[in-house]
Amino acid sequence: MKRIGVLTSGGDAPGMNAAIRAVVRLGIERGWETFGVRNGFAGLMAGSFVQLGARDVGGVIQRPGTLLGSSRAPDFETVDGQDRALEWLARKRLDALVVIGGNGSQAGAHALSGRGFPVVGLASTIDNDVHGAEMAIGVDTALNIALEAIDRLRATAASHHRAFLVEVMGRECGYLALMAGIAGGAEVVLVPEVEVAPGDVAAEIRAMYERGKGHAIVVAAEGVRGGCAALAPKLAEAEIGFALRTTILGHVQRGGTPGVFDRLLGTRLGTAAVQHIAAGMTGILLGLEGGAIIPTPLGEVVARRRELDPALLDLARVLAR
Amino acid sequence: MKRIGVLTSGGDAPGMNAAIRAVVRLGIERGWETFGVRNGFAGLMAGSFVQLGARDVGGVIQRPGTLLGSSRAPDFETVDGQDRALEWLARKRLDALVVIGGNGSQAGAHALSGRGFPVVGLASTIDNDVHGAEMAIGVDTALNIALEAIDRLRATAASHHRAFLVEVMGRECGYLALMAGIAGGAEVVLVPEVEVAPGDVAAEIRAMYERGKGHAIVVAAEGVRGGCAALAPKLAEAEIGFALRTTILGHVQRGGTPGVFDRLLGTRLGTAAVQHIAAGMTGILLGLEGGAIIPTPLGEVVARRRELDPALLDLARVLAR
Amino acid sequence: MKRIGVLTSGGDAPGMNAAIRAVVRLGIERGWETFGVRNGFAGLMAGSFVQLGARDVGGVIQRPGTLLGSSRAPDFETVDGQDRALEWLARKRLDALVVIGGNGSQAGAHALSGRGFPVVGLASTIDNDVHGAEMAIGVDTALNIALEAIDRLRATAASHHRAFLVEVMGRECGYLALMAGIAGGAEVVLVPEVEVAPGDVAAEIRAMYERGKGHAIVVAAEGVRGGCAALAPKLAEAEIGFALRTTILGHVQRGGTPGVFDRLLGTRLGTAAVQHIAAGMTGILLGLEGGAIIPTPLGEVVARRRELDPALLDLARVLAR
Amino acid sequence: MKRIGVLTSGGDAPGMNAAIRAVVRLGIERGWETFGVRNGFAGLMAGSFVQLGARDVGGVIQRPGTLLGSSRAPDFETVDGQDRALEWLARKRLDALVVIGGNGSQAGAHALSGRGFPVVGLASTIDNDVHGAEMAIGVDTALNIALEAIDRLRATAASHHRAFLVEVMGRECGYLALMAGIAGGAEVVLVPEVEVAPGDVAAEIRAMYERGKGHAIVVAAEGVRGGCAALAPKLAEAEIGFALRTTILGHVQRGGTPGVFDRLLGTRLGTAAVQHIAAGMTGILLGLEGGAIIPTPLGEVVARRRELDPALLDLARVLAR
């Protein structure tokens, strides 16, 4: 019989609610009590808890966002902030904590773990840059939203023989841009990991124009040098053949109704979290790797970052012809 | 037995293909021949025609954009441009032309009509600012795309207790912003027709924050003074309580798969165009008014502009409480 | 200062929640108190009320179904059932009741009204067969769901050169079938209002097959003689050329996220209900007619039924060539 | 320099077009020529080929179905049928063939391979029952369509306090039912692999009703004994507490716009097919296993069938509480 906590932290991601629901219901199956922490680590430092029963997580699996709320909490990087959190965890007599979030959140999880508290992290971020997780919760849904936007822009691009520059999320990681770009049949994909001079991008588009392509879609991660705000005027000046329009997708990518993949992934990760806590395996991140849920020590997770596969960038180029 | 032309002009709108299809198939029913003009008035001046049979418009009703291509053609405002168009219309022995587009396109239609050529205009623009049409082709689909984005932003706003500023299309007309705002339950709606000082907007949001609202959505038309790019920093400075994020929807609003409303409207307008040409009634715009397809003289259409109903702005405010 | 009740009855329809929300918030604007009745007339007879404040209808505009619950309540057709309802209305000191539903529900509204209680009905049914409403709440969303299914079936029909028979809702009224059929480009549309012999349907499909069409979509209302269950084997036997598959859409048509049209319609009708009650105008149904919200006496509503426009059936046939 | 063929066979699946496109474009990259075979093995026996260039597969990645057409071709099981196919492959001087389809299609691929022709199979079937592929092309999109339907039915079930029985595809394999059921939060999931007496199903639903659940969703694969047509009346008779409604999703599950997962999977499989043919590795099926594209000998593929993970059935039960 255990008492466990669960929190969501950092940017919200579709599928977080499926993970919370699985933690709660699998816990009940074992006779445990589960307490949600409101608004991530900020709520943990402030002692903002709510007990969660089976009915409290009814009807949430299809909801975007996180029912627990989330926040970014720089205070938690201080020893003082962690002290307050540990005090609350002790006062509420919790035996373990599940932390659902991306790299920043797992750094927090690692800090708590380093202070001796049993923590299990679940990879959740639409950037998909967590080491130990080939697909984090939220990535698939965010990709589908970006893809839908690209499909729509292609329709209007084709009607007007235009080029569109589409900025998708990803400050340091081009995963979303690359995968949405390949799936959307983008003519050019730009990621922060590989810098390409605007002149070279323009020359590539111009060459497509001259080969007779009727329109072009350029998908860029927000983290490309200067962002699309800087890139767009440079492309426009460079005479790419097509008239250019820019769209910045922004936060709509986060808020979609979670698809099957993210609901199942959240469910499997939440299930595995309870199993690992029951087995006394903590200080780990659980993530999908090679199609299975695999534990990785939190120390390794925070020391590394998931890298982009450069072969996929080449593939994007070959497919765009 | 007639030979008629059809073109789409200005911004593309979902449902244009349904209108083209109806013109072609209703024409065939009467034994007519129909010629599509490529890329709007630019193609008309250049003599770019393609004959359209029943099979050429098969499988197009569900496609976004326009199969004929579109463009903005400032040349057509000159007498010389119109001369070239009239020459081509004569050379192809066309008896009438159907012009599908917004205010700019109907100005072109009116010019041709003034030069003695039989023209029927069909109102199509996602701005919904054409006099003679309470709902233009494309408006409903664009509204649904904007609404879907607002629903998504609300999910992430609620998770983070944030405010979102969402810019939707509409340079001179706030229809899209107002209707999507009401349907999306927006806390504040901003339109070009009614200027509101940024300080007043900020105060309104701040008041909601203090009343305990967990998040706020502000929907603004792109035509509000300075656009969202200017408004956002002013709101952020004004201490509205919530952290603020901005999303600019842009051209994704045009490219959606047309919904039922736009397919039926396009179909009804295309059908009515053929009927009016057969009856010798030209020099008119056909649009939905009071639930029926009504003709309005093109001269009246270009002299006026559809206005926003100020009562709806008040309603938006009452509903947001 | 008034106390009013609101209930939803009969089949649920997307947009009912927008109407409830508008009734509550417009009531608050006037200082009124609003009470929701749970589960339609069944709840009214059982005295199942819940007071609704501004926050109770927050976040509901985008939800399908009805937050108040609904039911079919044959008891309410008896004088005894109505007596119980009137007793509860008196005991709760309600001044008026808003009844959101289709023909059966408006018959209940009319009965209460005939007993002297002030009632305003709002037309809501995906069958779209209410006299006094050219578009009832829920129709547009249901049409879009049916359309999406037809688009999908067309994709698989085209891949396999098949015919699909699609049954959409509509026991006595073919509106949904006809409109979804036209918007989906159906080859044949079958409605309960016009009986067509299965042999004639088969001959029509066979003719298309012989003209070289690659596939065919037949959209039928559930109310066609025998339903699709009876029709399908007759078509299959008749050698239509194509292999035939059948899909029965069923209740998925009800449960969609309401689109812009239904949210705005629900909002406008709920708003008008409060205005008409304030003005002492009751015993009426409010519905969209000619693009405006118009009152029709409940006695007239229950005596008639909205008819299908036969010209649209012909149009469907012409467009299918 | 090679000449290769590609065909799609059996039920169409979203993502087939992405696979065809990748085969064609990766082939061009190597200077190969690619020939599409129309309508699967039927077209192969009849010599129905079409050469595919880069532009022929432009704009197809987002289209559902298969641009090549598909069919079921029992003739191909005969030696005579295979002889005709081999003759055409020789006459067209093809070096290898890519076969995109499910178990039946891979049996055809295996037959050709056994006759000495170089074949690479790509797993594509919404049943997800191909050995050698943990996720076949089309499964993710079909799951999302089924999930969307379940979400919608839940909305109307909740409004009316009803139970819904939803039949999804899967004649011999319950994968789709199980995964859509877990993701949709179904109260009960029924699969062909594990027979459950209708009385036990009814007792389970009744118990939920008595525990106070407001509604229930039962997801069943079409292959459960007797299908839902037989199950529904038995449940209805057994007094489950709720009124019961049945929906049979049918072929809408096939025809969706492919999502990111299926477009990427199709792209990766098509890419790998060209690479394996170039390397002289044929007589294999390529499928996703453990997150990577892995070859499995066709002989092994046809001898086995992918099995359902029974642990997931238990998980579905635990999560439903």
The pLDDT tens digits of the residues spanning D155-166 come to 999 999 999 999
pLDDT interval class at D239 (50, 70, 90)? confident
C-alpha–C-alpha distance, residues A317 and B18, integer Å: 35
CB contact under 8 A, D152 and C64: yes
C101: which strand partners?
C123
pLDDT band at D302 (very low <50, low <70, confident <90, very high): very high
Establish if B294 touches chain C: CB-CB under 8 angstroms. no
Q: Does D124 touch chain C (CB under 8 A)?
A: no
For residue B54, give how far its alpha carbon lies from the nearest alpha carbon of chain C (Å): 7
Looking at C75, C80, C83, C127, which residue is catalytic? C127
Which position has the token pair 């008119």? B284
**A114 reaches B (C-beta below 8 A):** no
A partners (3+ CB pairs within 8 A) are B, D
| Residue C52 touches partner D, C-beta closer than 8 Å | no
Using the beta-carbon criterion (under 8 Å), do C158 and D248 form an inter-chain contact? no
Q: Residue A236 — pLDDT band, cuts 50, 70, 90?
A: confident
The structure tokens listed for D110 are 């295996």
* Single-letter amino acid, residue B85: A
* 3-state class percentages of chain B: helix first, strand second, coil last, to nearest 5: 45, 20, 35
* Residue spans of beta strands (DSSP E) within chain A: 3-8, 33-37, 49-52, 96-101, 119-123, 162-168, 188-190, 216-221, 243-248, 284-289, 292-297
Q: Are A174 and A223 in contact (CB under 8 A)?
A: yes
Is B61's CB within 8 Å of C183's CB? Answer: yes
3-state class of C88 per DSSP?
helix
**Sequence-separated (6 or more) residues with CB below 8 Å from residue C44:** C5, C7, C37, C76, C85, C88, C89, C97
> Residue-wise pLDDT tens for chain C (321 aa)?
899 999 999 999 999 999 999 999 999 999 999 999 999 999 999 999 999 999 999 999 999 999 999 998 999 999 999 999 999 999 999 999 999 999 999 999 999 999 999 999 999 999 999 999 999 999 999 999 999 999 999 999 999 999 999 999 999 999 999 999 999 999 999 999 999 999 999 999 999 999 888 899 999 999 999 888 899 999 988 889 999 999 999 999 999 999 999 999 999 999 999 999 999 999 999 999 998 999 999 999 999 999 999 899 999 999 987
Question: By three-state DSSP, how is residue B99 classified?
Answer: strand
Query: Whose CA is closest to B166, among B124, B221, B122?
Result: B221
What is the average pLDDT across D231-253?
A: 92
Computed on alpha carbons and rounded to an integer, the radius of gyration of chain B in Å comes to 21
Distance CA A124, CA A136 (A): 5
- For A243, nearest residue in chain B (alpha carbons): B71
Specify burial of residue B299 (Cβ count, 10 A radius: 0-12, 13-18, 19+): middle
Question: Given CB atoms, is B260 within the 8 Å cutoff of chain C?
Answer: yes
How far out from the chain centre does Cα C205 lie? 30
Interchain proximity C260–B289, CB inside 8 Å: no
Residue B296 makes CB contacts below 8 A (sequence gap 6+) with: B131, B132, B284, B285, B287, B289
Taking CB atoms and an 8 Å cutoff, what residues of chain A touch D29?
318, 321
Angle formed by the axes of helices C260-278 and B175-183, nearest 10°:
80
**SS3 labels along chain D:** CCEEEEEECCCCCCCHHHHHHHHHHHHHHCCCEEEEECCHHHHHHHCCEEEECCHHHCCCCCCCCCCCCCCCCHHHHCHHHHHHHHHHHHHCCCCEEEEEECHHHHHHHHHHHHCCCCEEEEEECCCCCCCCCCECECHHHHHHHHHHHHHHHHHHHHHHCEEEEEEECCCCCCHHHHHHHHHCCCCEEECCCCCCCHHHHHHHHHHHHHHCCCCEEEEEECCCCCHHHHHHHHHHHCCCCCEEEEEECHHHHCCCCCCHHHHHHHHHHHHHHHHHHHCCCCCEEEEEECCEEEEEEHHHHHHCCCCCCHHHHHHHHHHCC
CA distance C66 to C18: 9
Q: Among D69, D128, D169, D99, which Cα is nearest to D262's?
A: D128
- pLDDT mean over A296-308: 96
- The mean pLDDT of D275-288, rounded to a whole number, is 98
Tell me how close the Cα of B28 comes to any Cα of chain A, in angstroms. 25
The chain B residue lying nearest A40, using CA atoms, is B160
Note the pLDDT of residue B236.
Answer: 87
Nearest neighbour of D252 by CB, restricted to C39, C149, C251: C149
CA distances from A216 to A166, A206, A221, B180 (A): 11, 10, 17, 29
The pLDDT of residue A218 is above 90: yes
CA–chain centroid gap for D289, Å, is 16
Chain B and chain C share a number of CB contacts under 8 A equal to: 104
Provide the pairing of β-strand B162-168 with B216-221: parallel
Q: For chain A, say whether B259 makes contact (Cβ under 8 Å).
A: no
Q: Is D200 a catalytic residue?
A: no
A215-250: string of b/e by CB count within 10 Å (b at 16+)? bbbbbbbbbbeeebeebbeebbebebbbebbbbbbb
Instruction: Report the percentage of chain D scoring pLDDT > 70.
Output: 100
Least CB–CB distance from B291: residue in C29, C134, C185: C134
Q: Residue A72: is its pLDDT beyond 90? A: no
Longest dimension (CA), chain C: 70
Look at residue B226 in the predicted model and tell me its pLDDT. Answer: 85
Q: State mean pLDDT over D176-188.
A: 97
Query: Which residue matches tokens 């012009």?
Result: B99
Beta pairing partners, A289: A292
Write down the catalytic residue from B12, B127, B140, B262: B127
A50 contact D CB<8A: no
Quote the CA–CA distance of C62 and C65 in Å, as a whole number: 10
Closest residue in C to D255 (Cα) is C152
Put simply, whether A267 touches D (Cβ < 8 Å) is yes
Q: Which pLDDT belongs to residue A233?
A: 92
Residues of D in contact with C60 (CB under 8 A): none
**pTM score, whole prediction:** 0.95
Residues of chain A neighbouring B247 (CB-CB closer than 8 A)? 248-252
Confidence category of residue A321, pLDDT binned at 50, 70, 90: confident
A12, A127, A129, A140: the active-site residue: A127
Any alpha helices (H) in A34-167, and if so which ranges? 40-46, 79-91, 103-114, 139-160
More confident residue, D213 or A261: A261
C-alpha–C-alpha distance, residues A116 and C64, integer Å: 47
Q: What is the pLDDT of residue B23?
A: 98
Neighbours of C134 (CB within 10 A): 16
Q: Which of A141, A179, A260 best tests the D interface by mutation, with the highest count of D CBs <10 A? A: A260
Question: To which H or E segment does residue C4 belong?
Answer: strand C3-8
The four Cα atoms C270, C276, C282, C287 give a dihedral, to 10 degrees, of: -50
Predicted pLDDT at D226:
85
Partners of C293 in the beta sheet?
A: C288
Greatest Cα pair distance, chain A, in angstroms, is 70
Nearest-angstrom CA–CA distance, A298 and A307: 17
* Contact (CB<8Å) A183/D260: yes
Using a CB-CB cut-off of 8 Å, the residues of chain A touching D288 are 291
CA D199 to chain C, closest CA, distance in angstroms equals: 25
Average pLDDT, integer, range A272-291: 97
* Neighboring chains of B (3 or more beta-carbon pairs < 8 A): A, C
Predicted local distance difference test score (pLDDT) of residue D175: 97
Q: Do B251 and A156 touch (CB under 8 A)?
A: yes
Task: Quote the pLDDT of residue B287.
Answer: 97
Low-confidence ranges of chain B (pLDDT < 50): none
How many of the other CB atoms lie within 10 Å of CB of C71? 20
| Average pLDDT for A269-291 | 97
Contact C260 B21 (CB under 8 A): no
At A226 the pLDDT is: 85
pLDDT confidence of D321, banded at 50, 70, 90?
Answer: confident
Q: Which residue of B lies nearest to C29 if distances are taken between CA atoms? A: B318
Are the beta carbons of C155 and D248 separated by less than 8 Å? no
pLDDT for A239 beyond 90: no
Beta-carbon separation of C250 and D247 below 8 A: yes
Say if strands C49-52 and C33-37 run parallel, antiparallel, or are unpaired.
Answer: antiparallel
Confidence at residue D47, expressed as pLDDT on a 0 to 100 scale: 98
pLDDT in tens, A24-57: 999 999 999 999 999 999 999 999 999 999 999 9
Cβ of D63 within 8 Å of Cβ of C250? The answer is no
Structure token digits, residue B88: 């081509």
| C-beta of residue A312 within 8 angstroms of C-beta of residue A65 | no
Q: Is there a contact between B123 and B10 (Cβ–Cβ < 8 Å)?
A: no
Res. A229 pLDDT band, cuts 50 70 90: confident
* DSSP code of residue B257: P
What was the pLDDT predicted at D320? 87
Does the pLDDT at position A156 exceed 80? Answer: yes
How high does pLDDT run on average in chain D? 95
Distance from CA of A66 to the nearest CA of B (A): 6
Neighbouring residues of C3: CB distance < 8 A, sequence distance ≥ 6: C32, C33, C34, C35, C92, C93, C94, C95
> How many Cβ contacts (< 8 angstroms) between chains A and B?
103
Structure tokens at B197: 């000082």
By the CB < 8 Å criterion, does A227 face chain B?
Answer: no
Which of the other chains make 3 or more beta carbon contacts under 8 angstroms with chain C?
B, D
**Cross-chain residue pair B321–C182, CB shorter than 8 Å:** no
Q: What pLDDT score was predicted for residue A170?
A: 94
What are the structure tokens assigned to A321, written together? 């012809």
Kindly state whether C152 is in contact with chain D, defined as any CB-CB distance less than 8 angstroms: yes
Rg (CA), chain D: 21
List subunits contacting chain D, requiring 3 or more Cβ pairs under 8 Å.
Answer: A, C
Q: Are A217 and A184 in contact (CB under 8 A)?
A: yes
Whole-angstrom CA distances from B252 to B128, B168, C63 are 17, 10, 24
Residues 6 or more apart from B162 whose CB is under 8 A from it?
Answer: B156, B215, B242, B243, B244, B245
> Distance, in angstroms, between C1 CA and closest chain D CA?
31
Count interface pairs A-D at CB distance under 8 A: 104
Structural domains for chain A: 3-138+258-303 (3.40.50.450), 141-254 (3.40.50.460)
Q: D45-65, pLDDT tens digit by residue?
A: 999 999 999 999 999 999 999
Contact C264 B185 (CB under 8 A): no
Are B69 and A161 within 8 A, CB to CB?
yes
Residue of D nearest to A257 (CA): D148
